[in-house]
């Protein structure tokens, strides 16, 4: 009887673990897909996209963070021009209630309830998504595209930008550790990538 109960108990544990893994995987997929939809929408509105790490001139990337995308949007008061400040996305370690290994942040204007930029209020640093994967080894970008960040390993979010900024490939990789272990069977991983082109470029 003890053996039967023990075996049944193991079966229940494995079933619960399987359900937890499935739920965690669904949550990760939903979060990453929504993240790429949001960032893609911003890229479509951009007028000038930084096509290299050197072209990211914003001073708003915190120490220890890594810029992954920057662009300027049209000036609502002068549609032929752009706002001087860059909207910038960057990755950094988690803080407060956010979950690592890495978190994607955005520095830029708030959006009103209709999705329009509020350029009259101070720009904010805001977390976009957490649970991004730890650094990956030197992924490549297609010919004609520049990876941002350029050197070494990348965090769970990076971009490939076509020369001139006419197209951006957004790459996101998430990871959740289901236990205190550190093997692949303890983790749920999900990767997604999409190409997007700005509508507002010259």
The structural domains of the chain, with segments of one domain joined by +, span 8-196
What is the longest distance spanned by two Cα atoms in the chain? 80
Q: Is 75 exposed, middle or buried (0-12, 13-18, 19+ CB in 10 A)?
A: middle
Beta partners for residue 78, in sequence order: 75
Grade residue 15 by pLDDT with cuts at 50, 70 and 90. Answer: very low
Task: Give the model's pLDDT for residue 194.
Answer: 97
Whole-angstrom Cα distance, residue 1 to residue 31? 45
Average pLDDT, integer, range 124-151? 90
pLDDT in tens, 24-64: 678 888 889 999 999 999 999 999 999 999 999 999 999 99
pLDDT in tens, 58-84: 999 999 999 999 999 999 888 789 999
Given a cut of 80, whether residue 5 has pLDDT beyond it is no
Contact 161, 201 (CB under 8 A): no
Please name the residues in contact with 47: beta carbons below 8 A apart, sequence gap of 6 or more.
71, 72, 73, 74, 82, 198, 200, 201, 202
Of 4 and 181, which is predicted with more confidence? 181
**Which stretch of 28-32, 34-38, 160-164, 166-170 has the lowest confidence by average pLDDT?**
28-32
Contact 161, 148 (CB under 8 A): yes
Grade residue 183 by pLDDT with cuts at 50, 70 and 90. Answer: low
Task: Give the model's pLDDT for residue 108.
Answer: 96
CA distance from start to end of the chain = 76
Q: Which two tokens stand for residue 79?
A: 């549609």
pLDDT in tens, 147-158: 999 987 888 999
Task: Give the model's pLDDT for residue 78.
Answer: 86
Element (H, E) at 12: helix 2-45
Given a cut of 50, whether residue 12 has pLDDT beyond it is no
Angstrom CA distances, 191 to 156, 158, 196, stand at 9, 12, 17
Beta partners for residue 48, in sequence order: 72
**Which stretch of 66-70, 187-191, 193-197 has the lowest confidence by average pLDDT?**
187-191
Task: Give the model's pLDDT for residue 23.
Answer: 66
Helix, strand, coil percentages for the chain (3-state, nearest 5) = 25, 35, 40
């Amino acid at each position: 009887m003890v053996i039967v109960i023990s075996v049944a108990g193991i079966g229940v544990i494995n079933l619960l673990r399987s359900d937890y893994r499935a739920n965690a995987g669904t949550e990760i997929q939903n979060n990453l897909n929504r993240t790429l939809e949001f960032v893609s929408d911003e890229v479509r509105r951009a007028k000038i996209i930084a096509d290299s790490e050197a072209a990211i001139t914003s001073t708003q990337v915190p120490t220890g963070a890594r810029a992954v995308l920057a662009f300027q949007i049209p000036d609502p008061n002068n549609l032929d021009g752009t706002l001087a400040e860059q909207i910038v996305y960057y990755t950094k370690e988690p803080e407060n209630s956010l979950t690592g290994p890495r978190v994607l942040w955005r520095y830029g204007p708030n959006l009103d309830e209709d999705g329009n930029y509020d350029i009259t209020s101070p720009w904010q640093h805001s977390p976009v998504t957490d649970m991004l994967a730890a650094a990956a080894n030197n992924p490549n970008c297609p010919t004609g595209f520049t990876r941002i960040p350029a050197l070494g390993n990348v965090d769970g979010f990076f971009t490939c930008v076509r020369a001139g900024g006419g197209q951006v490939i957004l790459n996101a990789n998430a990871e959740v550790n289901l236990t205190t272990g550190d093997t692949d069977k303890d983790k749920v991983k999900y990767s997604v990538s999409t190409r997007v082109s700005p509508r507002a470029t010259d």
